[in-house]
Amino acid sequence: MAKQSSDGAAVAPSDTGAAPGARSLWASRWPALPAVLGLVLLFLVPMGIVGLYSLWRINNNLQLVTDWSLKNYALFFNNAVYLRTFGKTLLVATLATGVTVGVALPFAYFIVRYLTGAWQRVVLLGVIIPFWSSYLLRAYSWQSILGEKGVVNQALQAIGLISDPITFFNYTNSAVVLVLVYVYLPFAVLAIYASLEKFDFGLLTAAQDLGASPLRAVRHVLLPSIRPGIITACIFVFIPILGEYLTPTLVGGVEGTLIANLIINFQRGGQLPLAAAASFLIAIFVTVLLVVFRRYLRVQAVVGRV
């Protein structure tokens, strides 16, 4: 078969043996070099450094001693509080992801199904607008909403539902979940929107014409079609929450402590190998999750038209 040049024209096969094949392979792959370099420099090298630190220790002078051992990992598996806190982090991440996707799905459905193109762009802009302010500010502003003198308490007092401010809203686990949902909702909406936009809604009508109830049509026709978008939304939300530090600190108080808060304590105390071991464990967990879900990660199906 004749090869093609970069502009698509047919070119004669080379008569110089294997070398041109190798050149051709190189020529076809070198443009991926920046991505590979990015992956190596921004992911593999830092992770390697964290992995190395996790196998070393700090002496009484807070100096790094390059003795190789798994003691830092043993600390986590031997102390129930770390496993419990990691378990709680998983639970909060699962709950927040579930709620986020649960809100994002009907929201994206509404945008795609009931809004015209111009209005879709307006609403999507509204979804993206929070990104224009910093994460810290967005999370911090919830203190003014949920706090004892915050908007919610003042409103409830104004309408006479409560006489004294209630502390239930702020510095609790529920506040953490609420703010996480708020912070990560745009990611989920955009991922699901991209999937829904390509969905042929005539299929839903066809399913109902063939006797399916609306719910059944959604369950058996719509959801399987947009599954990549839903899975991507789950990944975009669930994984960052595993490392969340700021939101639990700002609105969770002591009750809302997640595993990253304990890791930060080690860092504050200069115990970098212990912090590295805990961080590495989370990274391994995330990597395993991604491997498990890799077959759903068809990026093209989510972000681009086929």
Site for another protein, rule CB under 8 A? 6, 28, 30-34, 37, 58, 60-64, 75, 79, 81-82, 84-85, 87-88, 147-149, 167, 171, 249, 252-254, 257-258, 262, 265-272, 274
- Which are the contacts of 29, defined by CB distance < 8 A and separation ≥ 6? none
Residues whose CB is less than 8 angstroms from the CB of residue 118 and which lie 6 or more positions away in sequence, other chains included: none
Give the residue with the Cβ less far from another protein, 7 or 15: 7
The distance of closest approach from Cβ of residue 252 to another protein in the complex, given in angstroms and rounded to an integer, is 8
Contacts (Cβ under 8 Å, ≥6 apart) of 238: 93, 94, 97, 289
Our CB check for another protein shows the closer of 104 and 274 to be 274
Q: How far is the CB of 67 from another protein (least distance, A)?
A: 14
> How many residues are listed for the chain in this entry?
306
The tokens for 69 are: 């051992």
Find the shortest distance in angstroms from Cβ 251 to another protein: 9
Q: CB under 8 Å to 280, separation ≥6 — which residues? A: 47, 50, 51, 54
**Least gap, CB of 262 to another protein (angstroms):** 5
Q: What are phi and psi of 205, to 5 degrees?
A: -60, -45
Least distance from another protein to the Cβ atom of residue 302, Å = 18
Residue 69 Cβ vs another protein, minimum distance, rounded to whole Å: 14
Nearer to another protein, 106 or 269 (CB): 269
Q: Closest CB to another protein among 222 and 262? A: 262
Question: Please, which residue, 94 or 167, has the CB nearer to another protein?
Answer: 167
Task: Report how many helices (DSSP H) and strands (DSSP E) the chain contains, helices first.
Answer: 17, 4
Q: Give 148 or 197: the residue with its C-beta nearer to another protein.
A: 148
> With respect to another protein, which residue has the nearer C-beta, 88 or 138?
88
| Exposure string for 83-96, b = 16+ CB within 10 A, e = fewer | eebbeebbebbebb
Neighbours of 262 (CB within 10 A): 19
**In angstroms, what is the minimal distance from the CB of 255 to another protein?**
8
| Cα dihedral 217, 290, 192, 104 sign | positive
Q: How far apart are CA 226 and CA 305, in angstroms?
A: 13
Residue 17 gets the label, from left (phi > 0), alpha (psi -120 to 50) or beta, of left
